[in-house]
Each structure stands twice: as structure tokens, then as C-alpha cells.
A and B are shown apart, each in its own frame.
Chain A
Amino acid sequence: MILAYAPQAASLPMVSGDEFVPPGPEIFYLPLIGEGEWAITEQMVWGGVSVVIICTALLMLTRNLSIVPSKSQFLLEGFYNFTRNGIARDMIGSKDFLRFVPLLFSLFTLILLNNWYGVLPPVMNPTYGRIGFAIAATVVVYVVYHWIGFKRYGFTGYFGHMIPEGLPGFIKPVIFPLELITYFITRPLTLALRLFGNMFAGHILIVLFVSAGAYFLTQDVVFKLLAVPTFLMAAIMWLFEALIQALQAYVFTLLSASYIAGALAEEH
């Protein structure tokens, strides 16, 4: 099970001769202190470091704000406005969006940096490749959007709000369980699994190409030649992953905003 640590590698020899073991889920288990499920892993440390990096960078960049922005301030404002206007205002609407901007901006920066760890040389391991991190981020969003929904519509009103308006009466009992499953199970499940699965699969793909290339180098001449396109493919995948990781951070924030908007919306 991927949720736990260190499963056995599937045996799937790709080249005859010495055994080539393709990377499996165990490459994500990197304990630093301790053993088993409660070990302090490399990802936990890098996750903490990412918070420090983001805080220092934002504090430094926002220290000397001026009306005529400097170059760094201009870039930061563009980045902030992307989240504020491009995600929060467009999805939630101009009435309520402002109080969710801090949450969405934190989610976006944190996930973006932690995902880009997967392609940045000193780390080369996306934090969200461990499902616990994805679940933690999802729990925050899950609590927030239900909390504001219950707060705005009341306990029973929120459940009534889940049913789309303008449906004939006889179909409502059929739609209601479906909406209940959507709100309470499908949405958090897909939100966590999408982020986790993308980081997990992308990292395995890069490690697969790199380790296969390294394996080819230890074989005879024909295979040594094969190492060149394999490493080239690894480089292409590396670039592709950088794109996917940014996109996944955007998608996570966008979906969080859309779930918040769904819990607040006047009409469905």
C-alpha cells in the first residue's frame, strides 16, 4: 500500500543480464530520524524549510513598499495579483473573495515551492509525493469550505443548499445523496489524490529514466549508446515536470476556490 512506507519493489526486469530494478513507491520513504511510520523524514524537514523560505522572501520583498514599485516589488505584485484576481476573484466573486485571499495565496505559494522541490537540484523530491502532506492541505480546505457553508446557511440550510435549484420535487431525493457524496467524499478525495498522484507519478518517471540510463552505462556497448536517448528523455521529463508541478499548484488553489464558491453561492 502506498500510504504506508517501504513496500516491496515489483520485480520487472527490463533488460536481460544483471537485474534492473525499476523505482517503486519505496523511493519516497526517506527517514532521517527514527523508523517506521513515525519517523521524521526528509520531506518533513524540507517542508519546514519551505515555510521559512517563503516567509523570509515575502518579508524581505514587502519591507520597502513604495507607490512607484521597484522591479522586485512589481514582480511580487504580479504574482500576488495572479492569485488574488486570477483565482480568488474570478472563482468566488467580488463580494466575498477578499477574506479568502490569504488562505489561497498561502496554499498556492506553499504547494508551488514544495512541488518545485521535485525539479530543484538540492532537493529533487516533491514533498507532496508523500500522501500525508496532500491530506493535510486538503483537510484545511475541507474544514474551511464546510465551516463557511454551515455558517452562512445554518446546519439544515446548508444541506438544502446542496440541492440545485429548479429541480422537480420527485428527483430531489435521488440528487441529494449524490450531492452529499460529492461534497463530503469525492471532493476532498480527488483534491488530495490529484496532487499526490501527480507528484508521485512524475517523480517516479524521472527516477525511472535516470536509473535506467545509469544502468545502461554499466552494460556493454550497444546499451551504452542507449543511455544517451534515455538521459535526454530524463531531461525532457524534468522540464515537463516543472510545468506539471506549477499547473498542479494552480489547479489545487483553483479547485479550493471553486469549492469555497460552491459553499457560498447564492444559487447553485
Chain B
Amino acid sequence: MEGNLSLVGYGLATIGPAIAVGLIFAAYINGVARQPEARPLLQPIAILGFALAEALAIFGLVLFFL
């Protein structure tokens, strides 16, 4: 069996952003559950946070191929 160690590295690198995205949406769901009328206010904030956290995983993907 052969392969590339950077594959494992990228797998490990996605753990951080994955936890971050989970936390962000957990907080968003919590907020909406407590106060449903705050949903339009919270949604862009949650998506923004998600996009910023996800960028780290994308960096990892790009570095893997470079």
C-alpha cells in the first residue's frame, strides 16, 4: 500500500475547522430556539462565521495540492 502522507495531514487539518463550524451552528440554533424572531438577524452572522472558519479548511486543501 502506498500513498501520500499529506493526505493524512489534510485529514487532521480539517478537524479544527469542523469543530469550529459545529460550534458556530450550535450557537446559531441555540439563539434561534431561544428567540425565534432573531432569526433574520442571526442568519448572516452565522453564515459569515461559518465561511471564515471554513476558509481554514480550504487553505489546507490548497496547501495539500501545492
Q: Is A197 an interface residue (CB 8 A)?
A: yes
Q: B residues within 8 A CB of A197? A: 58, 61-62
Chain A residues in 8 Å Cβ range of B7: 12
A254 touches B44 (CB 8 A): yes
Mask for B36-66, Cβ within 8 A of A = 1, else 0? Answer: 0000100010011011101100110110011
CB distance from B43 to the nearest CB of A (A): 9
Q: Does A242 contact B (CB under 8 A)?
A: no
Contacts of A198 in B (CB 8 A): 58
Q: Is A201 engaged at the interface, CB distance under 8 Å to the other chain?
A: yes
| Chain B at the A interface: SS class | helix
Contact of B51 among A2, A10, A251 (CB under 8 A): A251
Band of interface residues on B: 10 to 19
B48 CB contact (under 8 Å) in A2, A201, A258 = A258
> Count of chain A residues with Cβ under 8 Å from any Cβ of B?
25
User: Do A255 and B51 have beta carbons less than 8 Å apart?
Assistant: yes
Cα-based distance from A13 to B48 in the complex (angstroms)? 39
Contact status of A12 and B2, CB under 8 A, knowing A2-B65, A190-B55, A193-B59: yes
Of B2, B50, B52, B66, which one neighbours A1 at CB under 8 angstroms? B66
Distance in angstroms between the alpha carbons of A115 and B7 in the assembled complex: 26
Taking CB atoms, residues of chain A closer than 8 Å to B48 are: 251, 254-255, 258
**Could you give, for residues 1-31 of chain B, a 1 whenever the CB lies within 8 Å of some chain A CB and a 0 otherwise?**
0111001000000000000000000000000
Give min CB distance, B55 to chain A, whole Å: 4
With a cutoff of 8 Å between Cβ atoms, the chain A residues found around residue B58 in the complex are 190, 193-194, 197-198, 201
Counted as pairs of residues, one from A and one from B, with CB atoms less than 8 Å apart, the total is 51
Q: Which residues 83-138 in A have Cβ within 8 Å of B in the complex?
A: 86-87, 90-91
Residue of B nearest to A7 (CB): B65
**A201 to B40, alpha carbons, bound, how many Å?**
30
A193 to B64, CA, bound (A): 13
Knowing A11-B2, A254-B44, the reply to whether A194 touches B51 (Cβ < 8 A) is yes
A1-B65 CB under 8 A given contacts A12-B4, A254-B47, A255-B48: yes
List the 4 shortest-distance A-B pairs measured between CB atoms, nearest first.
A197-B58, A190-B55, A2-B65, A251-B51
- Chain B residues in the interface with A (C-beta under 8 A): 2-4, 7, 40, 44, 47-48, 50-52, 54-55, 58-59, 61-62, 65-66
27 A-B contacts (beta carbon < 8 Å) = A1-B65, A1-B66, A2-B62, A2-B66, A12-B4, A25-B65, A86-B44, A87-B44, A91-B44, A193-B55, A193-B58, A193-B62, A194-B51, A194-B54, A194-B55, A194-B58, A197-B58, A201-B61, A247-B47, A250-B47, A251-B47, A251-B48, A251-B51, A254-B47, A254-B48, A254-B51, A258-B48
